[in-house]
Structure 1
Amino acid sequence: MVCPRIGANVPVRGHTPGYRVTARAHTWVGDNGRMEMPTNERSQEPPVLVVGQDGMMLGGGDEESREIPVTEMVEQPAKVMRIGSMIKQLLEEVRAAPLDEASRVRLKEIHAGSVKELEDGLAPELVDELERLSLPFTDEAVPSEAELRIAQAQLVGWLEGLFHGIQTTLFAQQMAARAQLEQMRRALPAGSHHEDDGNPHQGPIRSGPYL
């Protein structure tokens, strides 16, 4: 195999005499007279992944496998937080005092209504997860105090995990924005961040023995 010089005229066997081919950079001529690319250039390059400020992949991969930030999956955060606070308070009431049958029936209805209201403020992905985890009570039987405590505690724990994920995502976004701002400040020319300091009515400071 012969490696021609870049830009050199190289005769190719098997063609009309006098016919020449100008070799390009990284072009090789094999023993059979055909132009071939080096093996390392024919190999497929690895995909390039772009990560955004929230730590999520923005491109270079399968869009369907991209994980959605939890902040975008809570469509009504204020409503979800109100219902979560109510459920937590109900759990404390169930633990504090014994409940009669009428109270247990009432809490059963509140629990089912709370789950339904939560689903209205969540994205479909979180709704599916909540339905898989929170098993509804049977329509006939009245739940016991233990069953109510377990159901309420499970729902409270799920909501606390959701809120923790939101806080973590927001903190990561703030840190990324702060790092980006610091990078922009470092990219500014020297002394440009001091041009607005001092009295804006004063003229520029002159050098020399006289002011």
Structure 2
Amino acid sequence: MSNSERQQPDQILNAENGIGTERISSNEVSVTNSVTEPAKVMRIGSMVKQLLEEVRGAELDQGSRERLAEIYERSIVELTDALSPDLQQELTMLALPFSDGIPSEGELRIAQAQLVGWLEGLFHGIQAALFAQQLMAQQQMEQIRQLQPGPLGNKADTASNSVPLPGTYL
């Protein structure tokens, strides 16, 4: 293996899931956020989901369909601004514009449901990446504890060997 191959990070989680985690070396992890403004994405996602629930059983007149279409399109623009380029491209490919004229109730509901589903997938990907990162950090801490000499470093060995610990005891 050449030096250039060793310096290339291994992709642990795909960036399409929200956060890409790369292994730089065996003990070092770097997290690359694919969501540049997570709070904004969460707010918009919650709003779109709530709108979908509100209009699910309601009869929509022409004015409400126009307004809902405007909100949907504006939500796509705002979400795109808060995402990395790869997620922007994915969202743009999935969130197709409405045909000319006012969309039907069915078109609006399908578009919103698709957006809500995509956002939920994004959130699950972020949660999975964070869980993996926490797990790796816990493993690293355990390795550090096992390597440290002294009373705090290897408690299992001192307890099983009944070696007295240094210090003053009463």
TM-score, with length taken from structure 2: 0.75
Q: Deviations over 1:75-132 (max 9, x none)?
A: 0000000000000001111212111111101100000000001011111111111111
With CA pairs under 8 Å and 6+ residues apart, which has the higher RCO, 1 or 2? 2
1:125-204 pair list within 5 angstroms: 125-138=86-99, 140-192=100-152, 204=167
User: What is the identity, as a one-letter code, of the residue corresponding to 2:82?
Assistant: G
| Segments ≥4 residues shifted beyond 2 Å | 44-59
CA displacement at 1:188 relative to structure 2: 1.0
1:51/1:132 Cα in 2 relative to 1: closer, same or farther (>3 Å)?
A: closer
* Cα gap change, 1:147 to 1:104, in 2 (>3 Å): same
Which one has the bigger helix percentage?
2
- In structure 2, give the amino acid aligned to 1:115: I
Q: Is the 8 A contact 1:79 1:121 kept in 2?
A: yes
Aligned equivalents of 1:81 and 1:184: distance in 2? Answer: 36
Any residues of structure 2 matched to 1:79-158 within 5 Å, and which? 79-138=40-99, 140-158=100-118
Equivalent position of 1:205 in the other structure: 168
Letter in 1 for 2:72: H
Residue 169 (structure 1) shift: 0.5
Q: How many angstroms apart in 1 are the aligned matches of 2:146 and 2:132?
A: 21
Q: CA deviation at 1:52?
A: 8.0
1:33 alignment counterpart: none
Q: Give the drift of 1:190.
A: 3.8
Query: Structure 1: which 5+ runs fail to align?
Result: 1-43, 60-67, 195-203
Partners of 1:53 and 1:173 within 8 A in 2: no
Q: Is the 8 A contact 1:134 1:155 kept in 2?
A: yes
In 2, Cα distance between the equivalents of 1:100 and 1:88?
A: 20
Percent identity between the two aligned chains = 54
Aligned-residue offset at 1:145:
0.8
Corresponding letter in the other structure for 1:205: T
* Alignment CA distance shift 1:154-1:52 (3 Å): closer
Give the counterpart letter for 1:58 in structure 2. Answer: I
SS in 2 for 1:56: strand
CA contact (8 A) 2:34 2:83 kept: yes
Q: Decide which structure has the larger Cα Rg and report it.
A: 1
Q: Considering only aligned residues, what root-mean-square deviation do their CA atoms show, in Å?
A: 2.8
Look up the equivalent residue of 2:24 and give its one-letter code.
L
Partner of 2:160: none
